[in-house]
Amino acid sequence: MELTPIGYLSCPQKYRFEMPRQGAFANNVGRIVLNDDPRLADACHDLEGVERIWVLFLFHLNSGWRPFVRPPVSPGGRRIGTFATRAPFRPNPIGLSCVELERVERNILHIRNFDLLDGTPVLDLKPYVPASDSFPDSRVGWLEQAEEKAFRIVYSDAARNRIGWIRENGGPDLENFCSVQLALDPFNRKRKRLERDPEGNWRIGCRTWQVVFHAEEKRIFVTSVLSHYSSGELAEEGDRYGDKMLHREFRRVFPNE
For residues 40 and 34, is the Cβ–Cβ distance under 8 A?
A: yes
Q: Give me the pLDDT at residue 86, please.
A: 85
Q: Give me the pLDDT at residue 4, please.
A: 95
Spatial neighbors of 24 by CB under 8 A, at least 6 apart, are 98, 113
Nearest to 45 by CA among 100, 106, 99, 102: 106
**Single-letter amino acid, residue 193:** R
Q: What angle do CA 251, 252, 257 make, to 5 degrees?
A: 35
Q: Give me the pLDDT at residue 24, please.
A: 62
- From first to last of its 257 residues, the chain has per-residue pLDDT tens of 899 999 999 998 887 777 766 666 567 889 999 999 999 999 999 998 899 999 999 999 988 999 998 876 677 778 889 998 888 899 999 999 999 999 999 999 999 988 899 999 999 999 999 989 988 888 777 776 666 667 889 999 999 999 999 988 988 889 888 887 888 778 888 878 899 988 889 999 988 999 999 999 889 999 999 999 999 999 998 998 889 999 999 999 998 65
Q: Give me the pLDDT at residue 209, please.
A: 94
Q: Give me the pLDDT at residue 81, please.
A: 92
Spatial neighbors of 43 by CB under 8 A, at least 6 apart, are none
Give me the residues paired with residue 100 across strands: 52, 112
What's the first-to-final CA gap in the chain, in angstroms?
Answer: 55
Handedness of CA 65, 66, 70, 71 (dihedral sign): positive
Q: Give me the pLDDT at residue 172, please.
A: 84
Spatial neighbors of 226 by CB under 8 A, at least 6 apart, are 203, 209, 210, 212, 257
Q: Give me the pLDDT at residue 44, please.
A: 95
